[in-house]
């Protein structure tokens, strides 16, 4: 357990503070008592709130190497649209036309507080674009944009004395009402959030106090000079933000999801309470108190906002616990580790094409592909079109090769999902091309497996595919059928396969045709062959950290099993000696027996004959035999040796529990099959729990 001494979820808690500051900005709590103090609070100090939100976003995006930017963008856009919809009644009441609304949607936001969303939606892609130049240049350019933005904000009165500059800013103001937007304002804070230095707390805290004081002087000065067109950007604001964020980072431990969600809800909801408080105050005759007393007004808006945010948060759909019944547990770290090891084994010039067919061999294609994508794997292979489409829908935009046959009539769908198709033979290629839609293909070369591909020696046939008008050949590959056999004869056959493959590639090159990316090694090709002069290797089973069976390989690599298969004890009872249990009473207790019903069956992919073949599970770290016949949704386990077993206890069918482990290879061997089959049959009813 974490203790307070470890630190606080400082970033998440400051989100709440920032949300309160935003409410301050929009309600001016001190206005009716001390306008100058109110200016200081709401137009100077509270200006840290929105840059903070931007920096938090940048911070987490940068942690993932900005690879999550697309997903973040889509989620923000969805939230923005929902929020804009929420305020549509206000827009209608104010007489806003549809065109004006659409314009506001992409520029300043459809209500005053919503400018943040279009700023993020423009700022994030801009930041990603700038980062292509490198971190330093990106920060410099974003800083320059911010400086330019200052001229349209706190320093407009100064800058606009130069007519040319005034004209420039007035041009910008034809698009946005302010320079506090996605171009001039958001990129800098997003990037600073990702590149914030971690200063020692001793330096950051007094530094922040000094910077805030200096920024206050700056603000009052600009105000006194009458320069301010707006009061949301200051020269010293980025410095204040770096110091504040650094301080928070130094305190930050752990996370507080509730604070995250509630702060966002507060941000989204508070203008509705500002709107609704007016008629409410009139109706109750409390205008003097609720509207004219700025402090009471602020307090009322804040209380209502806070209460409604908490209420909405409480109404959120409760996330289902994937580990409630039976589940596939995905060890992400092991997957990433395996990808690194295989990448190293494949050689420097050869990249991984991760084979994630059959729901990633039963591991869950979407979480597997996302994890690999984040680890830098940039190419995937699936068995069929629908698997490729599912990956696209899961947000995988890297190249995907469909290894299996696809009906030519589906060519349009291949193009729609931007999938690369493997060509099964020349007829297949012609039929695909005849559909008249441009698609990318990899040419399968049959080097002896006699499954798919144009025969390696048929140079004319291979070359003919290049002449087809609608296919673009971007790769050439073959599949080895004996690479899992370490014997000398098999090795010689494999050698001939490789020679035929490279000869086919050379033949095409001699004809002036570019075969594109070559790939030939699957898992056993990596384990049993030296690195190949190819652009890709296509490991499947090896990525998941298991061998297909117990046959030996040349190079054993340090791979880790990725999947554990677990269920729970549903019920425990004691059988007298001689008593039977299960369908057909196939089990008879030889002695007094503690029998557990376990929440997984053959419909989940557990082989039905596993109990009869000596299948075991781990309960409380102890190996216990499966007994009787497996049912569709349950199976029986003799837990006599496992101590005090209770309903709800986890049961491991594949994987480790304490020091004891049941490898997938062991289960597959019992059932006379390979791990590929065992794992790929794990049912869709099993949720994936990634850790």
Ligand X SMILES: *Cc1c(COP(=O)(O)O)cnc(C)c1O
DSSP E strands in 33-109: the ranges are: none
- Least separation in angstroms between residue 355's CB and ligand X is 4
Quick one: which H or E segment has residue 619? strand 616-619
Which one, 56 or 482, has the nearer CB to ligand X? 482
Which one, 538 or 568, has the nearer CB to ligand X? 538
Which one, 543 or 642, has the nearer CB to ligand X? 543
Which one, 212 or 403, has the nearer CB to ligand X? 403
- Least separation in angstroms between residue 332's CB and ligand X is 19
Give the span between the Cα atoms of 50 and 58, in whole angstroms: 12
DSSP 176-232: -S-S-STTTTHHHHHHHHHS-----HHHHHHHHHHHHHHHHHHHHHHHHTT--S-SS
- Least separation in angstroms between residue 403's CB and ligand X is 4
For residue 589, count other CB atoms closer than 10 A to its CB: 19
Which one, 357 or 568, has the nearer CB to ligand X? 357
- Least separation in angstroms between residue 452's CB and ligand X is 8
- Least separation in angstroms between residue 440's CB and ligand X is 17
Strand partners, 622: 619
Handedness of CA 174, 176, 182, 183 (dihedral sign): positive
- Least separation in angstroms between residue 689's CB and ligand X is 23
Q: Could you tell me where the DSSP H helices lie in 348-400?
A: 357-362, 365-374, 385-393
Burial 305-330 (b: 16+ CB within 10 A, else e): bbebbeeeeeeeeeeeeeeebbbbbb
Kindly list the catalytic residues: 357, 583
For residue 398, count other CB atoms closer than 10 A to its CB: 15
Give the span between the Cα atoms of 571 and 685, in whole angstroms: 21
Which one, 84 or 454, has the nearer CB to ligand X? 454
- Which residues contact residue 475 at a Cβ distance below 8 angstroms, ignoring those fewer than 6 apart? 401, 420, 441, 442, 443, 515, 516, 517, 518, 519, 535, 536
Q: Where do contacts with ligand X occur on this chain (CB under 6 A)?
A: 355, 357, 403, 479, 522-524, 538-542, 676
- Least separation in angstroms between residue 430's CB and ligand X is 22
Which one, 241 or 559, has the nearer CB to ligand X? 559
Please report, to the nearest 10 degrees, the dihedral formed by the alpha carbons of residues 646, 647, 648, 649 taken in order: 30
**Angle in degrees, CA 651, 586, 606, rounded to 5:** 40
Q: Could you tell me where the DSSP H helices lie in 477-597?
A: 488-510, 523-528
Residue of minimal Cβ distance to ligand X: 540
Which one, 194 or 539, has the nearer CB to ligand X? 539
- Least separation in angstroms between residue 194's CB and ligand X is 36
Pick the closest to residue 378 from 396, 362, 364 (CA basis): 396
- Which residues contact residue 423 at a Cβ distance below 8 angstroms, ignoring those fewer than 6 apart? 429, 432, 441, 442, 443, 444, 453, 454, 465, 471
């Amino acid at each position: 357990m974490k203790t307070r001494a470890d630190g606080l979820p400082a970033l998440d808690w400051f989100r709440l503070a920032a949300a309160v500051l935003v409410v301050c900005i929009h309600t001016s709590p001190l206005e009716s008592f001390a306008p100058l103090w109110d200016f200081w609070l709401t137009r100077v100090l509270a200006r840290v709130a929105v840059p903070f939100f931007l920096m938090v976003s940048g911070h987490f995006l940068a942690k993932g190497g900005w690879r999550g930017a697309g997903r973040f963008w889509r989620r923000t856009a969805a939230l923005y649209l929902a929020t804009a919809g929420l305020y549509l009644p206000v827009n209608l009441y104010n007489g806003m036309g549809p065109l004006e609304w659409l314009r506001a949607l992409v520029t300043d936001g459809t209500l005053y507080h919503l400018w943040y969303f279009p700023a993020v939606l423009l700022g994030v892609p801009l930041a990603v674009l700038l980062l292509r130049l490198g971190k330093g240049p990106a920060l410099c350019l974003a800083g320059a944009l911010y400086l330019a933005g200052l001229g349209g904000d706190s320093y407009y009165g100064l800058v606009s004395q130069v007519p040319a500059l005034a004209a420039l800013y007035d041009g910008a103001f034809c698009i946005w009402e302010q320079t506090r937007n996605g171009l001039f304002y958001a990129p800098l804070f997003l990037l600073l959030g990702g590149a914030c230095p971690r200063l020692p707390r001793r330096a950051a805290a007094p530094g922040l106090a000094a910077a805030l004081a200096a920024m206050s002087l700056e603000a009052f000065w600009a105000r006194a000079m009458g320069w301010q067109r707006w009061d949301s950007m200051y020269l010293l604001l980025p410095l204040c933000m770096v110091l504040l964020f650094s301080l928070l980072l130094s305190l930050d431990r752990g996370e507080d999801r509730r604070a995250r969600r509630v702060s966002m809800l507060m941000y989204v909801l508070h203008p509705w309470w500002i709107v609704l408080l007016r008629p409410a105050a009139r109706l109750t005759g409390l205008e003097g108190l609720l509207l004219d007393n700025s402090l009471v007004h602020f307090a009322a808006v804040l209380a209502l906002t806070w209460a409604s945010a908490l209420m909405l948060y409480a109404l959120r759909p409760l996330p289902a616990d994937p580990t409630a019944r039976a589940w596939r547990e995905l060890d992400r770290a092991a997957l990433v580790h395996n990808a690194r090891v295989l990448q190293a084994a494949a050689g420097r010039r050869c990249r991984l094409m991760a084979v994630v067919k059959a729901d990633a061999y039963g591991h869950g294609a979407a979480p597997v592909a996302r994890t690999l994508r984040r680890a830098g794997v940039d190419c995937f292979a699936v068995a069929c079109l629908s698997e490729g489409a599912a990956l696209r829908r899961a947000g995988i935009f890297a190249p995907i090769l469909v290894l299996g046959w696809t009906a030519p009539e589906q060519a349009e769908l291949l193009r729609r999902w931007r999938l690369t198709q493997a060509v099964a033979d020349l007829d297949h290629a012609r039929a695909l091309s005849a559909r008249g839609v441009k698609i990318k293909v990899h040419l399968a070369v049959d080097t002896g497996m006699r499954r798919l591909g144009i025969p390696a020696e048929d140079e004319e046939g291979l070359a003919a595919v290049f002449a087809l008008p609608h296919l673009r050949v971007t790769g050439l590959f073959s599949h080895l059928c004996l690479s899992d056999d370490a014997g000398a004869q098999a090795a010689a056959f494999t050698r001939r396969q490789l020679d035929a493959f490279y000869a086919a590639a050379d033949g095409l090159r001699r004809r002036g045709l570019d075969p594109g990316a070559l790939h030939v090694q699957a898992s056993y090709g990596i384990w049993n062959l030296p690195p190949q002069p190819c652009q890709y290797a296509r490991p499947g089973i090896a990525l998941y950290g298991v061998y297909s069976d117990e046959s030996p390989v040349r190079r054993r690599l340090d791979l880790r099993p990725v999947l554990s298969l677990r269920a729970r004890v549903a019920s425990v009872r004691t059988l007298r000696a001689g008593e039977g249990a299960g369908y057909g009473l196939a089990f008879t207790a030889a002695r007094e027996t503690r029998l557990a019903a376990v929440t997984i069956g053959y419909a989940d992919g557990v082989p039905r004959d596993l109990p009869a073949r000596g299948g075991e599970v781990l309960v409380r770290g102890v190996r216990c035999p499966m007994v009787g016949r497996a049912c569709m949704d349950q199976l029986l386990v003799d837990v006599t040796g496992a101590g005090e077993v209770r309903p709800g206890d986890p049961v491991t069918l594949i994987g480790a529990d304490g020091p004891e482990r049941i490898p997938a290879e062991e289960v597959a061997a019992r059932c006379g099959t390979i791990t590929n089959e065992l794992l790929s049959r794990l049912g869709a009813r099993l949720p994936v729990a990634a850790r």
